[in-house]
Amino acid sequence: MSINDATPDEWDEARARALYDPVTQRPRKTYWTGEEWTVNDDDYNTTTFGPLKHSSWQNESLPPVENPKAAIGSAKAPFFGIPWTAVIEMGTVMDGGAHKYGAYNYRDTRISTTTYHDAILRHFMLWADGENDDPESKASHLAHIMACCALMIDADHGDMLEDDRSKTSNVRYMLEESARLSRKFRQEK
């Protein structure tokens, strides 16, 4: 049987298998159609950048993975979706910070959220303005942002984060109102 002899049902099954990753037991975010890479973002929330579904990911038409290690492993923290290129760039920034400020300095003394908030915004503004790399470190501004976020998460878990954010509680409401007005403007065209 050639590919040209496939029935519509066989094509549907092949597409389902292409969208499903048997190792992770989750749908693939991208898949090859035979002509191009396609993004499958039906199950992703574009506001928070993440999956909307969890336990219902398994494709019912495919047999479950029978390896007991896979079942146990799937209940642990998932790392399959982490882009290692970004982790490597963040590691480069962390190495530079260790040489400049001392390794694990953020665990020795409390760190301030506003210090890292400001650094994140500076790096983001420079990146958004078209500057890809920090001139001092020669590393990506985005990797600097990742490093700042990682330090705050680590400090928070180690009870070393001084939370001095302003916490107005107005931002979520304002973002939702802005989105509502934007939808209204588009509908009025």
Cα torsion 16, 45, 163, 93 to 10°: value is 60
Return the DSSP state at 140: B
Spacing of C-alpha 77 from chain mean position: 14
Check pLDDT > 90 for residue 177: yes
CA 155, CA 139: separation in Å to the nearest integer? 23
Question: Which residue, 49, 73, 97, sits at the end of a domain?
Answer: 73
What is the count of structural domains for the chain?
Answer: 2
Same structural domain for residues 105 and 158?
Answer: yes
Domain that holds residue 11: 3-73
pLDDT at 3: 52
With residue 15 as reference, give the H or E element that holds it: helix 8-19
pLDDT for res 61: 59
pLDDT reported for residue 127: 98
pLDDT at 144 over 80: yes
Give residue 74's pLDDT: 72
| Whether the Cβ atoms of residue 97 and residue 147 lie closer than 8 Å to each other | yes
Please indicate, yes or no, if residue 79 is contained in any of the structural domains: no
Q: Note the pTM of the prediction, 2 decimals.
A: 0.61
Which one, of 66, 56, 67, 52, lies nearest residue 20 by Cα? 56
Radius of gyration, alpha carbons of the chain? 23
Q: Do residue 157 and residue 116 come from a single domain?
A: yes
In a domain, 117, yes or no: yes
Final residue belonging to a domain, choices 23, 43, 73: 73
- The better pLDDT of the pair 110, 43 is held by 110
Say yes or no: 90 and 158 in one domain.
Answer: yes
Q: Residue 155: pLDDT above 90?
A: yes
